[in-house]
Amino acid sequence: MRYSQFLITTLRDNPAEAEVMSHRLMVRSGMIRKLAAGIYSVLPLGQRVLHKTISIIREEMNRAGALEITLPIVQPAELWLESKRWNAYGKELLRFKDRHDRNFCLGPTHEEVITDLVRNTISSYRQLPLNLYQIHTKFRDEIRPRFGVMRAREFLMKDAYSFDRDEENAERSYQKMYQAYCAIFTRLGLTFRAVEADTGPIGGSFSHEFMVLAETGEDTIVSCTACDYAANLEKAEIGNEVFARNTTSKKRMQRVHTPGKKTVEEVSRFLGVPPSTLIKTLIFETPEGPIAALVRGDHDVNETKLKSILKCAEIFLADEDRIQELTNAPRGFTGPLGLSGIRIIADNALRSGTDYVIGGNEQDVHIMHVCPDIDFHVDIFCDIRCARDGDPCRRCGARLKTSRGIEVGHIFKLGTKYSEAMHATFLDEKGRELPFVMGCYGIGVGRTVAAAIEQLHDEHGIIFPQSIAPFDLVIVPVNSKDAIQMRIAEDLYHEAQRAAIDVILDDRDERPGSKFADADLIGIPVRLTVGKYAVSDKSIDIKVRKTGAVHKVTVDNAIPFVIQQLNAERL
RNA sequence: CGGGAAGUAGCGCAGUCUGGUUAGCGCGCAUGCUUCGGGAGCAUGAAGUCGGGGGUUCAAAUCCCCCCUUCCCGACCA
């Protein structure tokens, strides 16, 4: 490819719309342009990167035995009504009507469509296992799209769906995908980690998220410092702690006046006690009515855990009016004592300690020296808080630590959730009709590219891993009006092409500084500079983007050296 | 949906408070000359419904009202 025949539209200034680095660099390098919030056009440079990413994903999916298909983006409501997700999915599902007034939606995911396809196509255990995948556009009407393609509304996703005859085989399919994902992200040159995760609205029994490690990631990962346990914060379980309680020296409860002190911080400062001796009482609305969730003042409630304990999809914090109605006090003074008709769920940590401060369910009143389960009733104790640095690991008891990541892939064991709801069955060798045991497996393609950039960049721009760089090599003639330099550059260009190197020749009549800056910004792994030394003593500079190292080689050795450099990185 | 910020040439911004020549600057773009090892210099030029609608006024980018869009934080969410 010649620069003069390619469209590269780099920008010198950071776009005002972009805050995070990967977004800035994708816009500045000319990979993407925004059309509307969370909706992007992909330019030729970005398309090349996507292409290479997709190729790797496709190769590994095929290697794992999955078959590529294409499913429609526009989906009829009937299928979603069958799975009960037409109403359950929420506003992310963009619904609309066609000219005949029939309901449709844009597919945010494709479980319904694939299940429908398979139930009409597969009828025998002999046709299993089956894994079908596509790399296609999804639409999710996110409340707040952000960070460019990292959280877009319209985005490219690889989604795969496995169908098996039983749990055991489904487990095998799941493991195959797990391995394939590891292979994919390794080939993409990413530092990543697979973590246990909540299944969310997709449902199913078990899932892993693949996290690209990056400080700017939206997700918090909890991992063990000793064993290999790792989970999303939403899911991360806290190991058994020692719950010691000595009630012999317990003080009597005491009402205290706490005018205007509503937050944990205010109350703890006012009373001169540490936040860990306060109990936060949060009222949540659930489908079965309000519940009270109790955690220590220095802990945070984990709503995902709470949902899973309550076995419901939707809970939300009660608002000011509702709190007043239920507790006869404004927000900030809620406590478990005397709450009638409300289930009280307390975090395990509250099994320890006898001397807590709680809200008095009365304006400007708190109660001191309170012991859970003795001074007030607790319906159940369980793990409902977010894990923190230092908490014990569920598996081995060692300390947990937290870090940040970007979720680029998610694999689910779906079980028979969809196949049962939609009557997708096959006959086994004994003629029994059984529902497919399913799994589904997603990779956010654009997000993966963004995550790679987030992880691999410097002050000059993107440092693409060779596997997804838009070009392997850029050849820069310092002075494109110098016929001899240009001829050497052209010769090297052709030589590189013959060697199957994805090369671009910067034949623009630009100053060398601009060409270098663009090459760095775009993140081409290897740059070859043809200048006056190439003319005078056949010396070429080869610069490696990642390390910044400059190697001087002769014209004849240039391309072989480049090949060696690329092979060193190629996986 | 709550809080905050912003919409002026392709991009980045000034001008708005305090209404008043022809709406500016940098980058980019076009043409010419010189230059060419880390974003060159000079000259000439093209490019603007000042986000949209309404209002106030002799006069509106500037003041008032309504709306739209975008970004950030939160709530929410693969």
Handedness of CA A112, A118, A124, A130 (dihedral sign): negative
Q: What DSSP assignment string belongs to A118-134?
A: HHHH--BGGG-SEEEEE
Buried-exposed string A527-566: b where 16+ CB fall within 10 A, e elsewhere = bbbbbeebbeeebbbbbbbbeeeebebebeebbebbbebb
- State which of A330, A352, A382 marks the end of a domain: A382
What pLDDT shows up at residue A548?
A: 95
User: What CATH number corresponds to the domain at position A37?
Assistant: 3.30.930.10
Listed residue (A330, A340, A320) closest to A361, CA to CA:
A330
Is the shortest CB-to-strand distance from A189 to strand B under 7 Å?
no
In a domain, A459, yes or no: no
Residues A372, A437 within the same domain: no
- My answer on whether A161 and A196 are in the same domain is yes
3 state SS of A402: strand
Residues 465-484 of chain A with CB under 7 A from strand B are 478-481
- Quote the domain boundaries for residue A373: 254-382
A450 CB less than 7 Å from any atom of strand B: no
Q: How many structural domains does chain A have? A: 3
Domain termination site, one of A422, A454, A486: A454
A398 in Cβ contact with A226 (< 8 Å): yes
Residue A2 lies in a domain: no
- The distance (Å) linking the CA of A13 with the C1' of B21 is 33
Q: Assess whether A122 and A267 both reside in one domain.
A: no
Whether residue A488 sits in one domain with residue A359: no
CATH number at residue A501: 3.40.50.800
Q: Are A15 and A26 in contact (CB under 8 A)?
A: no
| pLDDT value of position A247 | 75
C-alpha A250/C-alpha A240 separation (Å) is 25
State which nucleotides on strand B lie below 7 Å from a protein beta carbon: 1, 6, 11-13, 26-28, 35-40, 69-78
Q: Are residues A448 and A519 in the same domain?
A: no
CA angle A229, A230, A235 (to 5 degrees): 115
- Amino acid identity of residue A357, one-letter, is V
Q: Is residue A40 part of a domain?
A: yes
The beta strands (E) that lie in A326-479 are given as: 343-347, 356-359, 365-370, 380-382, 400-415, 425-427, 433-435, 437-444, 457-458, 461-462, 473-477
Assign residue A264 the CATH number of its domain: 3.90.960.10
Is residue A461 in a domain?
no
Question: Is A113 part of any domain?
Answer: yes
**Positions in chain A whose pLDDT score sits under 50:** none
* The pLDDT value given to residue A165: 97
Closest nucleotide relative to residue A447's CA, C1' based: B78
Residue A533 approaches strand B within 7 Å at CB: yes
For residues A355 and A433, membership in a common domain is answered with no
**Residues A19 and A65 both lie in one domain:** yes
Supply the pLDDT for residue A202.
Answer: 67
Q: Is the distance between the Cβ of A507 and the closest atom of strand B smaller than 7 Å?
A: no
- Pair A93, A214 in one domain: yes
A506 touches strand B (CB under 7 A): no
Q: Among all strands, which nt has the closest C1' to A485 (CA)?
A: B36
Q: How many CA atoms lie within 13 A of A294 on its CB side?
A: 32
* Among the listed residues A170, A116, A38, A129, the one whose alpha carbon sits nearest the alpha carbon of residue A418: A116
Look at residue A265 and tell me if it is in a domain.
yes
Residues A80 and A189 in one domain: yes
**Strand B atom within 7 Å of A459 CB:** no
Say yes or no: A93 and A217 in one domain.
Answer: yes
Q: Which are the contacts of A237, defined by CB distance < 8 A and separation ≥ 6? A: A231, A383, A387, A394
State the complex-level ipTM.
0.92
Tell me if A387 is assigned to some domain.
no
Q: Given this model, what pLDDT does residue A288 score?
A: 80
Distance, CA of A394 to CA of A241 (rounded, Å) = 10
Which nucleotide's C1' atom has the smallest distance to the CA of A197?
B78
In a domain? residue A242: no
Strand order in the sheet with A365-370: A254-257, A365-370, A356-359
Q: Is the CB of A26 under 7 A from strand B?
A: no
Q: Return the CA Rg of chain A.
A: 29
State, as a whole number of angstroms, the distance between the CA of A144 and the C1' of B2: 13
Co-location of A199 and A69 in the same domain: yes
Tokens standing for residue A318: 């009660």
Give the pair of three-digit tokens for residue A101: 């007034």
pLDDT value of residue A481: 92
Tell me, yes or no, whether A27 and A128 share the same domain: yes
> What is the C-alpha separation between A279 and A400, in angstroms, rounded?
23
Nearest one of A445, A446, A448, A440 to A411, comparing CA atoms: A440
Q: SS3 of A293, please?
A: strand
